[in-house]
Amino acid sequence: MSVHFLGSLLLSHSFLANPLKIFVDSSKKQDKKRSVGIHNSRTQVLECNNNYAKFCRPDYPDQFSCVPISEIQTQPVPVHKDGEDEEDEDLWVTMKDEARSNVHQEPILSNYYFSAILSHDVIESALADHLSVKLSDSSLPSGTLYDLFMSVLTDDSEIVTAVKDDLRAVKERDPACISYVQCFLNFKGFLGCQAHRIAHKLWSQDRKVVALVIQNRVSEVCALDIHPGAKIGRGILLDHATGVVIGETAVIGNNVSILHNVTLGGTGKISGDRHPKIGDGVLIGAGTCVLGNVRIGDGAKIGAGSVVLRDVPARTTAVGNPAKLIGGKQNPVKLDKIPGLTMDHTSDISEWSDYVI
């Protein structure tokens, strides 16, 4: 058999050809957990997708392996290594350093940076504070929101891990992101996603009323409308974020990048499971609608402005209205890199549109 190394962003063909092989353990875990009920459902998604994330995050040196796939498959990487906590602490230290440097450059922002970043020992309180200021209004005081957000973040370390993964994802993938602290303070896609993580936790605890209030405030402040029922993985980039709508029963894997004005919508026919399921490493271009309980396979790319009403196989590229597969339905071109990470919106697609102009 051929031996593949995970250099750069290259997807191992054998890994992707047999994706179930590597997930055997985690899917077993899932089955056990399924009986626990809705409370743990997001956790399941995170866990189920977790191993995949190890391979497709190119910039986590400690998580990124250069051993042959064959060995990885038999030696699953542990999920929370001690090293990670240290790295996570380092992230907040790095962000405070960035903040100090920013204040040095721009003293008129001293108060802003002090209250949002420099006065906080940990990222949890900074996030709760920043979100509560953004989402408060005269009828929803920021103090009430801060207490609520802090209680969730203190309780659920997985959300905090996902927050940090998202920060790294934005910094890596968005050429316009110049620092972690810029993303933390300014990117409404990042902030809306973190508010959703909190709202989803509350939703899963059957605190639907307050979860829906958070959804609404994020929709007003960030123009980003994610139903608190939606399950969203780690390492997510919601770039620009305006006009994004994600429905109640949508599921989004890890390391997914979604541009603005993307809809993961229902079909309206049924009130049950009616929204798309987005695999790991998927890239969805601006203005695209994916409708119905369809599956977008791992590592797939959907071009800007597409309308997708059918499953898209893993590692293929769908474009157009209605969406077509690049290379054709029978023999679609297979991607060898992970579009959710490379953010390559146009290769293949650009050639496809060559004849028109």
The residue (of 58 and 303) whose beta carbon lies closer to its own copies is: 303
Binding mask 258-287 for its own copies (x = CB under 8 A): -xxx-x-xxxxxxx--x--------x-xxx
* Residue 9 in the binding site for its own copies (CB under 8 A): no
* Residue 207 in the binding site for its own copies (CB under 8 A): yes
CB of 255 to its own copies, least distance (A): 14
In the range 148-187, which residues lie near its own copies by CB under 8 A? 148, 173, 175-176, 178, 182, 185-187
In the range 18-77, which residues lie near its own copies by CB under 8 A? none
CB of 281 to its own copies, least distance (A): 14
SS (H, E, C) the chain: CCCCCCCCCECCHHHHHCHHHHCHHHHHHHHHHHCCCHHHHHHHHHHHHHHHHHHHCCCCCCCCCCCCHHHHHHCCCCCCCHHHHHHHHHHHHHHHHHHHHHHHHCHHHHHHHHHHHHCCCCHHHHHHHHHHHHHCECCECHHHHHHHHHHHHHHCHHHHHHHHHHHHHHHHHCCCCCCHHHHHHHCHHHHHHHHHHHHHHHHHCCCHHHHHHHHHHHHHHHCCEECCCCEECCCCEECCCCCCEECCCCEECCCCEECCCCEEECCCCCCCCCCCEECCCCEECCCCEEECCCEECCCCEECCCCEECCCECCCCEEECCCCEECCCCCCCCCCCECHHHHCCCCCCHHHHCHHHC
* Residue 218 in the binding site for its own copies (CB under 8 A): no
In the range 288-327, which residues lie near its own copies by CB under 8 A? 289, 291-292, 303-312, 318-325
The residue (of 92 and 203) whose beta carbon lies closer to its own copies is: 203
CB of 51 to its own copies, least distance (A): 25
Stretch that binds its own copies, among 51-59, 61-69, 100-108, 118-126 (CB under 8 A): 100-108
